[in-house]
Structure 1
Amino acid sequence: MPGYKNPDLEYLDQQGNVVGYGEVKTVGDADQSAFNKQLAKAVKQLRVREDVEGKMDVNEIFIQVPDLVDAREVRGWFRSYQKGRLHHGSDLEKISGYHVRVYTGSGSKLADVDLGVDADGGHYDESTHTYYSSNGYSY
């Protein structure tokens, strides 16, 4: 089946049963297009897994971006990705529960979000350069 590749990460319960998968992606360019391409690739890999094996308890995506990217920029990239899915006839419900974490190359966390939740539902604190989303995550 196309797109059915071994995951980067495999999550097991205490009995050794697979309960989820994770994908790790690196974005070499600090731009929305490169980010969206890697995010879409990771989502597709996880979705194909679920199509074959059924719904998983854990779906995680880790993305590394260049150090010059900031949290506000990443927030905009998430919104763009979500709007693109909606524009092309997909809904966010299908990716609800997909947990995405974004880090810089030097290890600073820029985002920690549920991909299927509306990224516009929160507020940005200019003094701390942090976005507080309505779902409790901050980036």
Structure 2
Amino acid sequence: MQRYSLEAPTTPNHISLLDLDITSIIGDIRDLEKLNKTFEEYKPDIVFQPLVRLSYENPIETNVIGTLKVFEACRQNNVKAIVNITSDKAYENKEWIWGYRENDPMGGYDPYSSSKGCADLLANSYRNSYFNKKKLIILY
């Protein structure tokens, strides 16, 4: 198993404390050339795109541009599955007591929230444009 991320900002950190048997590749998801080289070398079948702390500090670059580059690397390298971890912040805040659903209105009162909505729209457009919808199982 491999992990592709920026260098952990603290010592100790969760990755080192968990002592997992994984290969850590230090890189920025906005660097499409390095992403493609990493995908070519490790040939991942499944890619998880998680929420990261940097996305609060630089939402457009991380959540929009970074997500787009991860999806593009997945497309170019025939990745079989992408798990895009989103946020309830992508949805219009109705102060409901239940969780939001994919068919709820998108919204966002701040750049972070709007950028998470953009990432969800990118995920949907890549699924519709490049991935075989007949073979996809979509869980809600």
Shorter-chain TM-score range: 0.3 to 0.5
Q: Which has the higher strand share?
A: 1
TM-score, normalization: structure 2? 0.34
TM-score, normalization: structure 1? 0.35
- Which has more radius of gyration? 2
